Chains A and B, each alone.
Chain A
Amino acid sequence: EAQVTQNPRYLITVTGKKLTVTCSQNMNHEYMSWYRQDPGLGLRQIYYSMNVEVTDKGDVPEGYKVSRKEKRNFPLILESPSPNQTSLYFCASSSLDGPTWDEQFFGPGTRLTVL
């Protein structure tokens, strides 16, 4: 089954404790992206990657890191989480469709709470 998986689905942590949210897709997609979703603010892109070893900042990259060592995986790293990073996080992937990126397939989401 074609899918994007994220782990963990729920996480409660404390300020300053490093964490990683994993994302994996089995569709051989080139494009992968991380978003956070907050009430009233919609989905905002954190980081994205167009292929292995190619990453770029989205609109809200501060406090986050990513890596793309393999095509299927795109982990999101919070080196020192703070309460303002409490949010719902989505990973998504898509393939190239001519000159544009095709529809994104979203993971199930990770609800992160930082105390």
Chain B
Amino acid sequence: EDKVVQSPLSLVVHEGDTVTLNCSYEVTNFRSLLWYKQEKKAPTFLFMLTSSGIEKKSGRLSSILDKKELFSILNITATQTGDSAVYLCAVEGRDDKIIFGKGTRLHILP
């Protein structure tokens, strides 16, 4: 059965810290992995990864995919209170299905 596992499920850090969120997957016919941020509403897109080893960056956020070890990480440096959210990892697999992990709830303390 296809699955996407995110860790940790919850994380509390202080403003200015760097955090690393993990996403591992077992998905048949992997096509892409996407990261989303969800605050108190609909998820919004962060990154899409299809190739191993190529880092995607956007400001203080970055992400990379390892297709051999079947995982991705999302890094956030110099965290701010506005980074508090649930971070979702999703994988597109066989038959065009999309499987989400349960998310990592990140809370940044001022």
Contacts and interface: CB of A to CB of B under 8 A. Distances in A.
A57 to B, nearest CB: 9
B102 A56 contact: no
A43 B88 contact: yes
A59 interface: yes
Given A100-B31, A100-B32, A100-B92, A108 B41 contact: yes
Nearest to B86: A42
- For chain A, what secondary structure do more than half of its interface residues adopt (helix, strand, loop), or is it mixed? strand
Interface string B69-110: 000000000000000000010101001111111110000000
Contacts of A40: 102
Interface in A29-65: 31, 33, 35, 40-45, 48, 50, 56, 58-59
Interface of B: 31-32, 34, 36, 41-45, 48, 50, 88, 90, 92, 95-103
Interface of A: 31, 33, 35, 40-45, 48, 50, 56, 58-59, 90, 99-109
